[in-house]
Amino acid sequence: MNYCRRCGSKLTLVHGHVYKCQNGHTIFNNASPASCLWIINDKKEVLVAIRGREPGLGKLDAPGGFCDGAETFEDSIARELLEELGLTPDNYTKPQYLLSDVNPYRYEGEDLVVLGGAFYARLIGNPVITPQDDVAEARFIAMTDVDPDMIYFNEVRASFLRLRDSGIV
């Protein structure tokens, strides 16, 4: 952060994520919230998204993304799954919490801090999944066939490992 969003004057780092400008405004560089959802089908396979853009182009991911405005994690999941896969909340059970974590996110030359919330749910029925937005491809894969090292984001990888090792599936 270089300039105050209130008055436009230069910011000085006070400590950690706290900045001040010459006019005395305090600006907090807090983490941006994001969420993801692992969906499990009746064959005990997990829905994996292939990233269609940077960061992590071509790497594995769970469907999800940044919370917009005052969205909850659950609201964000519903919107992102509709945008990315054409799925509605009627297509999966109520999301269940797995974990949260803080991760670096490099985007267009800027380093952001992301607070990610990860969830899982079970697929309902046999809906058509249509990859769109930043998802190049989406498919169900046996948990044992997913290479965690191919999962781009740290908290998404950690949530996959927790899901895989939890005995839930």
pLDDT digits (tens, 9 = 90+) for 136-159: 999 999 999 999 999 999 999 999
* The predicted structure's pLDDT at residue 59: 98
Are both 7 and 43 inside the same structural domain?
Answer: no
- Whole-angstrom distance, CA of residue 153 vs CA of residue 49: 12
CATH at residue 113: 3.90.79.10
Number of domains in the chain: 2
Residue range 51-56: mean pLDDT, rounded:
92
Are both 114 and 152 inside the same structural domain?
Answer: yes
Are both 57 and 134 inside the same structural domain?
Answer: yes
pLDDT digits (tens, 9 = 90+) for 1-25: 789 999 999 999 999 899 999 999 9
**Amino acid in position 65:** G
Does pTM top 0.75 for this prediction?
yes
Q: Is the pLDDT of residue 169 over 80?
A: no
Q: Domain containing 22: what range?
A: 1-30
Are both 130 and 150 inside the same structural domain?
Answer: yes
Are both 59 and 24 inside the same structural domain?
Answer: no
Q: Is 89 exposed, middle or buried (0-12, 13-18, 19+ CB in 10 A)?
A: middle
Q: Chain-wide mean pLDDT for the chain?
A: 94
Q: Is the pLDDT of residue 110 over 90?
A: no
Q: Please state the φ and ψ torsions of residue 71, each to the nearest 5 degrees.
A: -70, 145
